[in-house]
């Protein structure tokens, strides 16, 4: 690198700047955000499970609380995040090795269509018991 030139600075805001960009960029933004959300969920999930050490009384109180509407809606959202990240992740495993990468855009929409279908079914499964 030649001397005296201004050295640029790392700019991670570019990760979340999809304006004017295309499908692959949106898929990347979604994958990154959902991956980090899932990781955050796992931390919280493991921490909350420590209530199990309090035995049945403490845990079953927690479960009753977690069976309330707001929490079931949270579960619905969690499943959506999982499906988006997981099914796009399957696409990335193959595309990342050059298999089907010429069709990466189509595979993204295929993954999202599959995610939507599974999401409809699991949403029904999660919310149906709460109606009874």
When binding is defined by CB under 6 A, the residue of 23, 24, 25, 38 that contacts ligand HEM is 38
Residue 45 as a binder of ligand HEM (CB under 6 A): the answer is yes
What whole-number distance in Å separates Cα of residue 125 and Cα of residue 121? 6
How many other C-beta atoms lie within 10 A of the C-beta of residue 81? Answer: 16
Compare residues 24 and 73 and give the one whose CB is closer to other proteins: 24
When binding is defined by CB under 8 A, the residue of 2, 44, 69, 120 that contacts other proteins is 2
**Residue least distant from ligand HEM (Cβ):** 89
Residue with tokens 């959202």: 77
What whole-number distance in Å separates Cα of residue 110 and Cα of residue 91? 9
Distance of CA 64 to the CA centre of its chain: 26
What is the binding site for ligand HEM (CB under 6 A)? Answer: 31-32, 35-36, 38-39, 42, 45, 49, 75, 78, 82, 85-86, 89-90, 92-93
């Amino acid at each position: 690198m030649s001397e005296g030139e201004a050295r640029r600075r790392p700019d991670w805001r570019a990760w979340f700047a999809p304006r004017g960009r295309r499908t692959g960029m949106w898929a990347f933004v979604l994958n990154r955000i959902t991956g980090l959300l899932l990781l955050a969920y796992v931390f919280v999930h493991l921490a909350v499970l420590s209530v199990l050490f309090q035995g049945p009384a403490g845990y079953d109180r927690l479960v009753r609380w977690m069976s309330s509407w707001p929490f079931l809606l949270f579960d619905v959202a969690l499943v959506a995040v999982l499906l988006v990240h997981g099914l796009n992740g399957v696409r990335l495993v193959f595309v990342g090795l050059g298999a089907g990468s010429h069709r990466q855009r189509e595979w993204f929409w295929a993954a999202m269509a599959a995610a939507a279908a599974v999401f409809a079914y699991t949403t029904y499964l999660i919310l149906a018991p709460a109606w009874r």
